[in-house]
Every structure is written in structure tokens, then in C-alpha cells.
């Protein structure tokens, strides 16, 4: 006790304070940069979820759930690793500070620690309530994935959704919205290879609803639907059965190459190209094989100048949704269709922002690749001849939804 009194005591206290401050200053991490990085990662993580919510239907049509899940999980792992590092450094810094601060008064601080323990108990009880909600959400997600929450009506509808090799056939199918509004009554229509179908009708009549039923986003409530598989088989070189191109194509977060091969990853696309075009070539050449084909596709849709917009070329990682016009995005969506080369292409007004000559070239190329298209358009064939004449020569049938009250008509298109 005598050491802590008088001039010597004051000197010891000052020396202890200066030594402690110096030690803290030396051991203090750069919390400013660490916190800024954490906020950046959190912002990216939230942004990806916002994009998923905004483009959920387009992603579902493309079958990009697995790709988006991998991208989100990658961002989450980055955020989790950084947050763990930041918490570890904060804990080390606080423990060092507490050790220096309370070294001379351990006994007195033990009484305060008892109060802190009581406070921690209260916080733990509050946290446990939030954890219970997380567990409930996990149980709900597991139940949905296992099919436990599907209604008997929806379960029964899966028996009406059948796979066929080279035909899309609606047999007395009722197109019904989730709110149980009937849009088409006993729809009967066959789409065979080489016979393109033009789907017309006013807004709200049910054009896009047919595509949702076809893709499996809405159940087949009655009748029978025969269709090829939508699955993008990474091992099969023949491509998928049906591929969807929306009016405003979804641009994923990634490179220019990723925009065309979506929903495949770079590695999956390289494997597919190696099996299709890489006979007798080593796996080291797969990137060149893939990029050569993608360049040819870009030239066909008149977007080869995108390779020159950034010095990174195919690896350019830009905000494509912002820098591309709607017409360019639509041509990029058609490039994605030509890359996957499905048996059937669902085109939901995806060329209405392109010029007539470009639109004609795109449909001619689809025909050359053997892709049978089902095109959605508001105007009837009479109006198409005046406003969009390029569509008429490439379609054999017109399915017109009259009023959105269940009435429809199917007729041949006279060239």
C-alpha cells in the first residue's frame, strides 16, 4: 500500500498508465478498415437477396436456383469469415484492455462481474426467443423441400404433368391462377418440332400464365400436360428440353461469359463444351473451345462489340443490367438460348425492343439450330403483319387468348 502513496505512488500510476496505453496502441487492430469491409460484405449479401426477390420468377424459369444458391452461400461464407475475424480481434482487444484496467482492482471488480452475469442471463433469454424463430423457419423450409406442406390438390396435379421427348401437348388443361381465377378452359394444343407457335392476347389474358404452367411454377389443376424435361443436364451434350427467355432477361452477377452460359457455371459449361466439341483435345483447351463458340454466338446476335468494352474481355465483371440497353439485353437473352440449344424455346416478347432486321435474323438462327419457339405477343397476327412482320413467316400456329375469362382459339397462320 505504501508503494501507491506519495510521489512514488503517483509516479508508479503514471508509468502504469503510459505502459498500458502504449501496449493498447500497439495491439489495436485497424478497426476502421475491418468495420468498413464488414459493412461492404453485408451490403453485397443484402443486395443479392434483393435481386433474388426481384427476379425470382425469371430465375425459376431459367432453373438457376442452384447457381444462385451457390453464389449467395459464397457471399455468406465471406461475410461469416470476416465477421468471425472481427469478433475475435475485438474480443482480444477488449480482454487486453480489461486486463490492464482492472489488474489493480480485481477484487473490487469481481462484485461488478456478478452484476454483468445477471445482465447476460437477461440477454440470453432475449436471444433464445430469436433462435426459436430461426429453428421454426428451418423446420418450415425442410417441410417444404420434403413436400410435407403441399396440398392434396397440388400433389394430385403432379400426376397430370408428364414428360415427353419431342412434343409439348396441352390436353384439356385448365389454366388457373393461384387466386383460382380461370384464364383458359380446357386448353388443347400441340407444339411439334418445326411448327412454331405464336401466343397472342391482351394484357392479363393468360399468355404468361401458360408459360408458368409449362415451366411447373403453377400446377396443372386438370387435364394432361406432356413436355420435355426442363433440366439442364451437365453430363448430357444434347441440352435441355425447354428454355425460357423473358422480355427483360435476367443478368446475373458475373462476367460477360457468365451472362451467356447462365445458369451453368464456368466449369460446368467447359465440361459440356469439351464433350460436345472437344473430341481429341485436352482439358487445358476447354476455355478456348468455350470462348470460341461464345464469340460466334455474340457475332450472330450482333453483340461482338461487348468484348471490346472492357480490356478484360470475357472476364469483364460489370453491372450489365445498368450498362446494357433493353435491346442489347434481349439479344443477350437470345444468345443464352442459342448457347443452350434446347428443343423448345419460350420467348416472352423478348425481341420487341430490337429492330425488324435483327428480330428476323434471330428467328432465322433459331430455326437453323433446330429450336422450335413459342412466342408471346400482345398483337394479333393481323397487327403483327403491320408492326412486326418478321414474326409471321416463322410461325405456323396462333393460340389467341380472347378475354382472360377462359375463352381461347387456335388457328393456322396463313403466310
pLDDT score of 133:
74
What are the domain boundaries of the chain? Answer: 7-146, 182-412
229: Cα separation from own chain's centroid: 20
- Cα–Cα distance, 24 to 13 (Å, whole number): 16
pLDDT at residue 306, as a whole number: 92
Check residue 283 and give its pLDDT.
Answer: 61
Cell of 315: 472476364
Using alpha carbons, list the distances in angstroms from residue 119 to 27, 96, 123, 150.
Answer: 29, 22, 6, 44
pLDDT at 109: 55
Per-residue pLDDT of 107-139, as tens digits, reads 445 555 656 766 676 677 667 767 777 888 888
Question: For residues 185 and 241, is the Cβ–Cβ distance under 8 A?
Answer: no
Asked if 307 and 291 count as a contact pair (C-beta separation under 8 A), the reply is: no
Rounded Cα gap, residues 369 and 235, in angstroms:
20
Region of 280 please: left (phi>0), alpha (psi -120 to 50) or beta.
left
Contact call for residues 299 and 262 (beta carbons, < 8 A): no
> What number does CATH give the domain 182-412?
3.40.50.300
- C-alpha 233/C-alpha 235 separation (Å) is 5
Q: What is the pTM of this model?
A: 0.73
Give me 26's grid cell.
500497439
CA 366, 369, 370, 371 torsion: positive or negative? negative
d(CA 52, CA 308) in angstroms, rounded, equals 29
CA distance 102 to 195: 83
| Weakly modelled stretches of the chain, pLDDT under 50 | 1, 107-108, 149-157, 234-238
Closest by CA to 68, choosing from 266, 263, 215, 314, is: 263
Amino acid at each position: 500500500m505504501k508503494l501507491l502513496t506519495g510521489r512514488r505512488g503517483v509516479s508508479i500510476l503514471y508509468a502504469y498508465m503510459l505502459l498500458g496505453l502504449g501496449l493498447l496502441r500497439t495491439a489495436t487492430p485497424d478497426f476502421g478498415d475491418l468495420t468498413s469491409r464488414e459493412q461492404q460484405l453485408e451490403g453485397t449479401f443484402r443486395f443479392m437477396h434483393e435481386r433474388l426477390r426481384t427476379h425470382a420468377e425469371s430465375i425459376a424459369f431459367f432453373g438457376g436456383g442452384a447457381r444462385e444458391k451457390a453464389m449467395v452461400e459464397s457471399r455468406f461464407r465471406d461475410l461469416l469469415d470476416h465477421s468471425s475475424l472481427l469478433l475475435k480481434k475485438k474480443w482480444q482487444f477488449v480482454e487486453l484492455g480489461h486486463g490492464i484496467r482492472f489488474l489493480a482492482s480485481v477484487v473490487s471488480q469481481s462484485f461488478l462481474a456478478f452484476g454483468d452475469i445477471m445482465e447476460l442471463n437477461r440477454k440470453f433469454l432475449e436471444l433464445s426467443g430469436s433462435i426459436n424463430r430461426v429453428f421454426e423457419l428451418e423446420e418450415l423450409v425442410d417441410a417444404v423441400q420434403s413436400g410435407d406442406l403441399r396440398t392434396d390438390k397440388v400433389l394430385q396435379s403432379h400426376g397430370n404433368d408428364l414428360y415427353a421427348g419431342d412434343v409439348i401437348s396441352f390436353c384439356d388443361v385448365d389454366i388457373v391462377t393461384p387466386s383460382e381465377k380461370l384464364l383458359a378452359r380446357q386448353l388443347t394444343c400441340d407444339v411439334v418440332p418445326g411448327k412454331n407457335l405464336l401466343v397472342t392476347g391482351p394484357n392479363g389474358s393468360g399468355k404468361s400464365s401458360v408459360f408458368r404452367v409449362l415451366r411447373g411454377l403453377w400446377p396443372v389443376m386438370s387435364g394432361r400436360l406432356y413436355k420435355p424435361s426442363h433440366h439442364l443436364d451437365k453430363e448430357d451434350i444434347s441440352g435441355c428440353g425447354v428454355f425460357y427467355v423473358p422480355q427483360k432477361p435476367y443478368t446475373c452477377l458475373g462476367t460477360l461469359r457468365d451472362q451467356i452460359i447462365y445458369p451453368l457455371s464456368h466449369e460446368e459449361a467447359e465440361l459440356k463444351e469439351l464433350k460436345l466439341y472437344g473430341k481429341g483435345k485436352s482439358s487445358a483447351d476447354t476455355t478456348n473451345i468455350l470462348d470460341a463458340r461464345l464469340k460466334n454466338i455474340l457475332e450472330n446476335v450482333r453483340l461482338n462489340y461487348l468484348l471490346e468494352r472492357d480490356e478484360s474481355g470475357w472476364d469483364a465483371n460489370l453491372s450489365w443490367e445498368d450498362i446494357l440497353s433493353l435491346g442489347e439485353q434481349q439479344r443477350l437473352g437470345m444468345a443464352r438460348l442459342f448457347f443452350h440449344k434446347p428443343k423448345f424455346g419460350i420467348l416472352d416478347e423478348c425481341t420487341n425492343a430490337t429492330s425488324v432486321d435483327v428480330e428476323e435474323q434471330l428467328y432465322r438462327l433459331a430455326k437453323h439450330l433446330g429450336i422450335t419457339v413459342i412466342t408471346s405477343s400482345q398483337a394479333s397476327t393481323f397487327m403483327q403483319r403491320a408492326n412486326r412482320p418478321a414474326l409471321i413467316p416463322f410461325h405456323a400456329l396462333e393460340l389467341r387468348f380472347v378475354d382472360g375469362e377462359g375463352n381461347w382459339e387456335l388457328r393456322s397462320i396463313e403466310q
